[in-house]
Structure 1
Amino acid sequence: MSNKSIGTTILGPGTLTLGANTSMHTMSNQVTSVKLVPKVDREKGLTVLSGLKKGGARSESWTLEGKFLFDLGTAESTSDYLFDNRGQDVPFTFTPATARGTTFTGTLTVESAEIGGDVDIDNLEVDFSFEVQGDLTKNKPGG
């Protein structure tokens, strides 16, 4: 019998911040879902007459996606921050589970989220999606 265990990580408690220290916006209290999503593109490459192959180039890009609670007009509103900073490239830090200590950092382009919804109900969740610009960095505890 193997002594290996199955490992899982539950998301949260964690943090998600956008912007530099002087203008940092914390989304952690509004976010209900968040994930970094990779996209990999690979060129087909070439095969020459001898049968040898020259591999195609590989490129990778990321988006930060999720949902947050619609909060237009509230103190420290995420809806307002996204609208006011749309199109801006800002640093971000995402810590999926503080107890695990791993963080992801980089720069993303802020995009506004939907504003409004159905009348006379609590319009809770709004989707967001931001393109990560350049490299995504994984920072492990103690290393």
Structure 2
Amino acid sequence: MNNEATPPPRIVVGIDGSEPSKAALRWAVNQAKLVGGAVDAVFAWDYPTPWHGLVPPTEKEPGDYEEHMRKVLDHAIDEALGPGPGRPVALRTISAHGHPATVLLDAAAGAELLVVGNRGLGEFREALLGSVGMHCVQHAPCPVVVIRGSGHGT
């Protein structure tokens, strides 16, 4: 007989502050409640890069920028779920430097489910499914759920 406890099912959700990503987080938390799982809320970011001089270079040190991005993630989670503590499931926050699709696919390794919003903060707002979601659907190591956000917090 194996005495080791089985870890709860892990659900990874991508969050970028967009309404669809907040809806995805709410869905992932509800699903985790149903299956006795835990949620990893993943936020990918990159340092701002100048594009023909249109983006001013940041004066923040890399560590300062990482801390700022973590605060952006925490704020998005609070907007989606309300301020913690007392969340209905175990929620781990992951703020990682890198391309969102790569960060999400890496985080989804070994997960039961990957949840993404149908589109994020990218430029192509009219697309039914954004490029990150499309890449995740095509390459994820686990099932993917795409949540269509209404723009009204659902």
TM range (shorter): under 0.3
**The structure with more strand, counted as a fraction of residues:** 1
TM-score normalised by the chain length of structure 1: 0.23
Which structure exhibits the higher relative contact order, with contacts defined as CA atoms closer than 8 Å and separated by 6 or more residues? 2
Rg larger in 1 or in 2? Answer: 1
TM-score normalised by the chain length of structure 2: 0.22
